[in-house]
């Protein structure tokens, strides 16, 4: 009734009853001390006044207290829900930011994210550094012969080789249909060629197959190194030129400074 809970009604009834008892006790004790008789209208007034005044007043007080408690609990729940929503929104924002920077097929950076990072490093990094560009050989033939799903699997495999070989924290990306790039900070010429050779050999030995048929897969790689301050776009241009030299040299090889190289030749 009137939105008053049973708990509030019970508390108000107990309080009102206590008020009536106290009021009657006062009348029974105080009136004789004053020389009167605690009966008649005076007695009934001691009963009715607490009922008519204390009853509604205590009901209202307990009802308001209950409303305040419910509102406080609701606010606490809303605060928790708001915190949960904030954490979910923060996670969603981080996921969206990661997806905006990531190539969905291979898990590496996409072209825009890589070049933004690469140019930022170029402004602050004096070397030694190496830039490595790898391109899948005869990739159109793979798609034509085995289908684009197998081609996608080949790209994922090359991406996995890149991630595993360059290591965590090294920026690498898929920057074209079948073209990959890695920026190796602190790498000299020997270590850069060693990384490239591990990539080349791992792709060649991937063992990719489709319907029981081996899928021929290899990469050509161009490398450029710098020991001092460098222009990122010029470094990329030089590495890209060496990549095309590797393509022209028969593919499945590494070219640096216009010459074909291998890890064993660098060690010698």
Task: Identify the pLDDT of residue 57.
Answer: 72
Lowest mean pLDDT among 57-61, 105-109, 198-202: 57-61
pTM of the model: 0.68
Q: What is the dihedral of CA 158, 136, 112, 241, to 10 degrees?
A: 130
Neighbours of 93 (CB within 10 A): 10
Q: Is 37 helix (H, G, I), strand (E, B) or coil?
A: coil
Name the strand (E) or helix (H) holding 97.
Answer: helix 55-101
Longest dimension (CA), the chain: 128
Task: Identify the pLDDT of residue 126.
Answer: 67
Task: Identify the pLDDT of residue 68.
Answer: 82
The two structure tokens encoding residue 143: 């798609």
Task: Identify the pLDDT of residue 42.
Answer: 65
Task: Identify the pLDDT of residue 210.
Answer: 92
Mean pLDDT of 92-107: 85
| Percentage of residues of the chain with pLDDT beyond 70 | 85
Residues with active-site annotation: 178
pLDDT digits (tens, 9 = 90+) for 144-179: 999 999 999 999 999 999 999 999 889 999 998 999
Average pLDDT, the chain: 86
Whether 209 has a pLDDT exceeding 80, the answer reads yes
pLDDT digits (tens, 9 = 90+) for 153-162: 999 999 999 9
Task: Identify the pLDDT of residue 22.
Answer: 72
Measured distance CA(158)–CA(135) in Å, rounded: 10
Whether 265 has a pLDDT exceeding 90, the answer reads no
- For residues 55 and 253, the model is more confident at 253
């Amino acid at each position: 009734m009137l939105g008053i809970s049973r708990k509030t009604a019970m508390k108000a009834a107990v309080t009102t009853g206590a008020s009536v008892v106290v009021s009657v006790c006062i009348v029974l004790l105080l009136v004789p001390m004053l020389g009167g008789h605690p009966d008649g209208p005076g007695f009934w007034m001691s009963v009715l006044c607490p009922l008519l005044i204390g009853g509604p007043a205590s009901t209202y007080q307990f009802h308001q207290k209950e409303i305040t408690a419910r509102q406080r609990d609701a606010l606490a729940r809303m605060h928790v829900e708001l915190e949960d929503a904030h954490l979910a929104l923060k996670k969603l924002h981080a996921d969206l930011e990661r997806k905006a920077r990531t190539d969905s097929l291979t898990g590496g950076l996409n072209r825009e994210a890589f070049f933004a990072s690469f140019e930022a490093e170029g402004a602050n990094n004096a070397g030694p550094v190496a830039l490595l560009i790898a391109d899948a050989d005869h990739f159109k033939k793979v798609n034509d012969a085995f289908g684009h799903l197998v081609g996608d699997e080949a790209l994922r495999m090359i991406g996995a080789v890149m991630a595993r070989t360059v290591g965590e924290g090294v920026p690498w990306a898929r920057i074209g249909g079948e073209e990959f790039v890695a920026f190796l900070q602190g790498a000299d010429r020997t270590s850069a060629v060693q990384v490239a050779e591990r990539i080349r050999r791992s792709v060649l030995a991937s063992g990719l197959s489709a319907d029981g048929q081996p899928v021929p897969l290899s990469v050509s790689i161009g490398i450029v190194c710098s020991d001092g301050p460098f222009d990122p776009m010029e470094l990329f241009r030089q590495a890209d030129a060496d990549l095309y030299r590797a393509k022209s040299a028969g593919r499945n090889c590494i070219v640096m400074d216009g010459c074909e190289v291998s890890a064993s030749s660098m060690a010698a």
